[in-house]
Amino acid sequence: MSFEFIENGTVTSVPGFLATGVTAGFKRSGAPDFAMVFSEEKETNFAGVFTSCTFAAAPVRLCQQRVRESKFMRAVIINSGNANACTGEPGLNAARQSCAITAAALGIAPEEVCVASTGRIGVQMNMELIERGVALAVPALSNNGGTLASEAIITTDTVPKAAAAKVNINGKTVTIGAMTKGAGMIDPKLTTPHATMICIITTDAKIANADLLKLLDRNAQDSFNRITVDGDMSTNDTVLVLANGRSGVEIPPGSDAEKLFADTLLAVMQNLARRMVKDGEGATKFVEIKIVNARSVEDAKLAAEAIGNSALCKTAWFGNDPNWGRVVAALGYSGAKLDPEKCDIYFGDIPVVKNGGDAGTLEKDLLATVKADEFTITCDFNDGDCEYWVWTSDFSYEYVKINADYHT
């Protein structure tokens, strides 16, 4: 039996999780900017993957410590409007103190609280705003507050992004809920101990921290690490998963249960990853870049990422220009090993390059494909059996506008 998505699913679609979103005052706009997710279960396992940025932000460094040292995780707070990055020791103290304030208000230990931040880099946290956020959020926590939480964590996103799915494992229902934010500075390279994407995942599966981390890490490689909006990785990328065990369904490593759980988790993460790209800053198009029959996965990855991050390809897509020459140029500088004379390229199902040269397709026959909101470019290297894909967006006037004007 396979998983199915829950309509309007959120982090609170999972039994035992409460959440909310409030206005603490981080955003000048007065929009909601502080979210809290809380697990009613004392023994809530957890795992996290974070940015690989050398300048990882204070909250990231604190969460990494939690992953190493804490046994259980009861609450996550997320503020949007200040990244608490490049804030040195005061920033780290602010992150620690944010956890302490939250813990005191919830009656749990500070080690059982994680914090994630997004917004302007290099600004010290205003602790009064954290205090206000916590004071407003704790009484507002509710088992249908997931939507409010997902609204409070966004920055340049135009829509909140949440999802949930359930799967029958050993006769019982396991639910996975998640919310994410991120529209710019998106090219996550998440690693075990690593997007400013932030994703909070909840589940009622019963799974050990180490096993959960392994699944999270593997699935991040096949979801958030496959997306790019601008090629800029953030200082604050954070993906956290909390597993409260309330379903009573154990997920032992190597079991069929684990496979079902992992597949469902991946589906939820890919659903959100895809929506992040669609909501990418200024994005008008969703483009899947697929490299097939490459000599190695690494070659396929180099090629897919070069095309996915090419300013010339992205502006051509914005212009509905089926300019495959720019795709070829990106392949050519990607560093991927390939034989140009064996290389075929397709826009959708339509061949544009055959054996490294023009396939003879008329530009007018490509227009319907490139004018669509969503299409796939496939590069067949005909030179092996390895593949890789990425999801990317186009580059529009709006992208420039958003980022030339951005001040949180």
Smallest gap from Cβ 263 to its own copies, in A, equals 30
Question: Is residue 279 near its own copies by the rule CB under 8 A?
Answer: no
Can you tell me which residue has the tokens 């829509």? 159
Torsion of CA 13, 15, 21, 22, to 10 degrees: 140
Choices 64-72, 258-266, 289-297, 390-398 (CB under 8 A): range interacting with its own copies? 390-398
CB under 8 Å to 93, separation ≥6 — which residues?
none
For 250, which DSSP code? Answer: B
3-state secondary structure (DSSP) of residue 259: helix
38: contact with its own copies by CB under 8 A: no
Q: Of 62-70, 166-174, 204-212, 397-405, which segment contacts its own copies by CB under 8 A?
A: 397-405
Of the candidate spans 46-54, 94-102, 125-133, 263-271, the one that interacts with its own copies by CB under 8 A turns out to be 46-54
Report the residue from 30, 88, 107, 171 that binds its own copies according to the rule CB under 8 A: 88
**Min. distance of Cβ 131 from its own copies in angstroms?**
23
Within 107-203, where are the H helices?
A: 127-140, 146-152
Among positions 133, 184, 280, 308, the unique one binding its own copies when judged by CB under 8 A:
184
Shortest distance in whole angstroms from residue 330 CB to its own copies: 7
Helices (H), 70-170: 88-106, 127-140, 146-152
Shortest spacing between CB 232 and its own copies, in angstroms: 5
Rounded CA gap, 354 and 358, in Å?
6
Position among 15, 25, 193, 332 found at the interface with its own copies (CB under 8 A): 332
DSSP H helical ranges for 119-222: 127-140, 146-152, 209-221
10 binds its own copies (CB under 8 A): no
Catalytic residue among 87, 196, 202, 238: 196
Does the protein bind its own copies through residue 331 (CB under 8 A)? Answer: yes
Q: Answer yes or no whether residue 340 interacts with its own copies by CB under 8 A.
A: yes
Which residue type is seen at 314? Answer: K
Q: 198-203 and 172-181: which strand pairing?
A: antiparallel
CB proximity list for 53: less than 8 A, separation 6 or greater: 233, 234, 235, 237
The token pair at 399 is 């992208």
| Residue 10 known to be catalytic | no
Q: Are 242 and 46 in contact (CB under 8 A)?
A: yes
User: Which residues sit at the interface with its own copies, rule CB under 8 A?
Assistant: 51-56, 83, 85-88, 91, 120-124, 184-185, 187, 189, 230-235, 309-312, 315-316, 318-319, 321, 323-326, 328-334, 336, 338, 340-341, 353, 355-358, 395-397, 399-407
The residues carrying an active-site annotation are 196
